[in-house]
Structure 1
Amino acid sequence: MIDTYDPDVLWIVIVGFITSFILAFGIGANDVANSFATSIGAGVLTLKQACYLGSVFEILGAMLLGYKVSDTVRKGILDITAYDGHEKELMLGMLAALIGCAVWLLVATYFKLPVSTTHSIIGATVGFGLVARGPDGIKWGQIGTIALSWVISPIMAGFISVAIYLLFYKFILKAKSPFNAGLVALPIIWGVVLFINVLSITLDGSKLLYLHNLEWWHSMLISIGVGLIAMVCVHFFMVPWQKRKILAEEPYNTDIKPTTISTLENGKSTITVNSMTVSANSVTPIIEAQEEEKRVNLLFHFIQILAAIFSSFAHGGNDVANAIGPLITIWLVYTHGEASTKAETPLYLLAYGGLGIVVGLWLLGRRVIETVGFNLTKLTPATGVTIEIGSAGTVLMASKIGVPISTTHCKVGAVAFVGWVYGKTSNQPSEKGEHVNWKLFGSILGAWVITLPAAGAIAAFCMWCFEFLV
């Protein structure tokens, strides 16, 4: 043990707070972009509006949900008991992890690559652990579980998002009157999204806010009640208002731009439209279908804003752990004097991490937003809603069981899956016949592969240097 508030380790605490804020800044610049990139790419939110929303809901998510995953990052990766009697070494190791993760994340952000901050912090933690205690100090079973989630999470988020999109496609976009079908479905969608969101907060909720005292049926009743109230309000107030507003708009500009008109030998005319040749008789139905889809997309503007809030809240709950988990260990060792303290995660540290995330979003969030929101695939409000719900739902499920999965993997997986399916089902033309930029997707996958060893190597080097101070 060390003495509580030992002045000899105060410098580690101070540098830890500074480095943790820089890391949270990097998470905001790289990872929070995933919460709002689809909304910005679909033209539903501006960057400034997204930053305002993120400022509120990232911090709320961090405070309401972040404690559980923070405990996993703090206690679940390393055998903390191995550092009993060597508390200063543990503090230095956690500082090395913060440095390794922060450096790699800022490098990735510079190159506009969305990487996993979860990969980064866990790789950095393993890196310093190998230097400090060798392989015996690592909980390899937990690492294996988390590593498996890295593979499963983008696939799961992709399948959930595609399933939701196909429901939209069948019952709304391909309905006889898509706009009217969208009006009917809108209250249901709002109700379901709010039900899931409220349930995720109240079911086995934060001990810091005493939500863990609620029985499971209390949480269900509260969530069902909120969902039903939302459905009634949307049906009687939002649907009529949106219907009047959208139908009052000027005729929509479509992406159909005839470039050449040819007459065949049989007398029939063909028109080349955006590099796609169709019969002249087919142009009007295509234009009408696009106009109807644009009306439906306008209908989904507000629901995508809600879904983006949902995603931001989930991100704050899951990824604040990446910035704050090691800092919490440093702080609790400093204030309690032992490595294996069972003290709860302080609420103010979660809020501190959330604040750093918000600052990063405001100052550098644009870089990765361009990659995910604009360069990977074409996004619309309808596809954006499915991506937001599918990826955020996956992250929230993981948060509730304490598994720190990658929000980046979930979001990018959902974007690629839905973008590919949307390209197969829509009338929208694409550049070079591809609806997903697979070359960019491959570059992102490459960045994912090197993230863990890169962050781990930086942290290991820092820990090797710190060993001379122990």
Structure 2
Amino acid sequence: MSRHNRFRALDKDLGRIGQAEVAQMHAFRPVWRLGLGVLAVVGALLMGMALSGAAPGLLAVGAGLVVAAWLGMAIGANDVANSLGPAVGAGAVGMVPGLVMVALAGIAGAVLAGGAVSERLASGIVELGPLTSGPRAPMAMVAALIGAVVWITLATGIGLPVSTSHSIVGGIAGAGAVAFGLGAVTWGTLAMIAVVWVATPLVAGSLAGALLVLLRLKVVEAPDRIAAALRWLPPLVGLMVGLFSAYLIVLVDRRIDLPPLVALALLPGVAGVLLTRRTVRQEAARHPARPGIKPLLRPALLIAVVMLGFAHGANDVGNVAGPLSVVLRGQGLVPAMGVVPVTVLLGGGLAIAAGTLLFGRRLVHMVGSGITRLNAGRAFCVSLATAVTVLGASALGLPVSTTHVAVGGVFGVGFAREWLDRRRDRRSDALPAAEARRRILVRRSHVATITVAWLVTVPITGSLGALACLLVLWAAGV
């Protein structure tokens, strides 16, 4: 292999990300058309509210449910490829079982771990404490949902990939500023969320890069790959399963003591070890000389996909459940301030799962095809690092973009792979100046795309949320 081609892994992976975004836009068209219909329905509801003098609270609930349902389906359709594409492309799971698996994992994540982000979006961006008795709080959240949906629909129509989390944060801030004044917006929280948007891709990149270095040095490049795989992969998978099981147990019962927690988490961890050892031995029997990495990593990749689906549901359900809980609270359907009921989280999770099952197949097929997928090893590193990072953000109640975090993982894996190649053959370090400049430009363009996406989205959705709030308050006569 030429020295010029050996260090192009990151550029190729970034190119695949770009191709996946193009495929995502085409596959998202049915949901986009449905979004136009939703906006038409909401417009009709607002017009009816203005002309008929109907109770604004009931119409707000109707408009909020319609917009939130579409937003949930859009999230499920749009982001399923991040979770499932690598596993389908690597042959770890079939399309239909994979869609069902990710949908169920997303529902579980929404119900068990979605409360923190939902509560942050419901009451952490705009101070609603003394203002919940009037109709302005639910109206502001309806306007925030409308602003986010308008921007997502417009951006999709012009081929610009945007984050749902960024959109809803901007929409809530803009609508809240109009409804309650600029002083009601918690600018410190917005600043913290913005810092997290920058930090999480870096964290995911560091984790993914470290994991790739471990796999390359200990398994892929080992003289005896079978022995190395038996030594390293079963404990790795067992640790993944055990820690994730412990996390789930704590979510179910936060008062559990450490000894029973360890005992309960140990059982699935041991099962993961045994399953991986069986997979490695089966692959060794088929290819005793040099087994392929893809079949060896199938159990690990499958578990990482489940974790990423769970993390996706835990973080993104807040985009639906947070604002919707405030809308429902305005009619006394949600009792407590700052607490998002499990039923609302479940509804948001079901909407996301519906989008995954109804609209996800085409997108997963495109992204999981040989054109756009990462190979199994890099896909595993990126998926696991993204899942861990998003779960950490969810535990802190911070909404993040799963796609942007995954791109950070791609960068980390690419840089780690190039470092390993240079470490193996330092004579390949020297590159022509034109080639080095081209790579800098390619990578800088992806960093710029991510940065511009969230820098532009928040002001635009804030403006749209503010405009929608003015319209909603006028229609309600508030």
TM-score normalised according to structure 2 size: 0.77
User: Larger % of helix: which?
Assistant: 2
Q: Which residue type is aligned with residue 381 of structure 1?
A: A
Computed over aligned residues only, the root mean square deviation of the Cα atoms, in angstroms, reads 3.1
* 1:467 alignment partner in structure 2: 473
Gap change, CA 1:220 and 1:142, over 3 Å in 2: farther
Gap change, CA 1:224 and 1:412, over 3 Å in 2: same
Gap change, CA 1:437 and 1:297, over 3 Å in 2: farther
Q: Quick check: 1:113–1:444 contact (8 Å CA) kept in 2?
A: no
Q: Which residue type is aligned with residue 111 of structure 2?
A: M
* 1:301 alignment partner in structure 2: 298
**Aligned runs of 1:11-410 on 2, under 5 Å?**
11-42=59-90, 44-45=92-93, 47-86=95-134, 88-110=135-157, 114-203=161-250, 205-206=251-252, 211-216=253-258, 218-235=260-277, 237-244=278-285, 246-247=286-287, 292=290, 295-335=292-332, 341-342=336-337, 344-365=339-360, 379-410=374-405
Cα deviation digits, residues 339-396 of structure 1 (max 9, x gap): xx34742222222211221232344446775897679976111111111111101111
Unaligned stretches of 5+ residues in structure 1: 1-5, 249-290
* 1:275 alignment partner in structure 2: none
CA–CA separation in structure 1 for the residues paired with 2:400 and 2:115: 15
CA–CA separation in structure 2 for the residues paired with 1:81 and 1:47: 46
- The secondary structure found in structure 1 opposite 2:126 is coil
CA–CA separation in structure 1 for the residues paired with 2:269 and 2:59: 49
Gap change, CA 1:466 and 1:345, over 3 Å in 2: same
Q: Which residue type is aligned with residue 462 of structure 1?
A: A
Gap change, CA 1:186 and 1:295, over 3 Å in 2: same
CA–CA separation in structure 1 for the residues paired with 2:181 and 2:362: 38
Following TM superposition, by how much is the alpha carbon of 1:320 offset from its aligned partner in structure 2, in angstroms?
A: 0.5
Unaligned stretches of 5+ residues in structure 2: 1-53, 425-434
Please tell me whether Structure 1 or Structure 2 has the larger radius of gyration of its CA atoms: 1
Gap change, CA 1:343 and 1:379, over 3 Å in 2: closer
Q: Quick check: 1:113–1:368 contact (8 Å CA) kept in 2?
A: no
Gap change, CA 1:380 and 1:437, over 3 Å in 2: farther
Following TM superposition, by how much is the alpha carbon of 1:230 offset from its aligned partner in structure 2, in angstroms?
A: 2.8
Residue range with higher mean Cα deviation, 460-469 or 411-420? 411-420
CA–CA separation in structure 2 for the residues paired with 1:37 and 1:26: 17
* 1:456 alignment partner in structure 2: 462
CA–CA separation in structure 1 for the residues paired with 2:259 and 2:77: 39
Cα deviation digits, residues 141-182 of structure 1 (max 9, x gap): 222221111111000011011111111111011211224312
Q: Quick check: 1:118–1:405 contact (8 Å CA) kept in 2?
A: yes
TM-score normalised according to structure 1 size: 0.78
Residue range with higher mean Cα deviation, 439-448 or 136-145? 439-448
Q: Which residue type is aligned with residue 22 of structure 1?
A: W
CA–CA separation in structure 1 for the residues paired with 2:340 and 2:317: 12
Gap change, CA 1:397 and 1:190, over 3 Å in 2: same
CA–CA separation in structure 1 for the residues paired with 2:271 and 2:97: 26
Quote the sequence identity (%).
30
* 2:31 alignment partner in structure 1: none
Aligned residues: 408
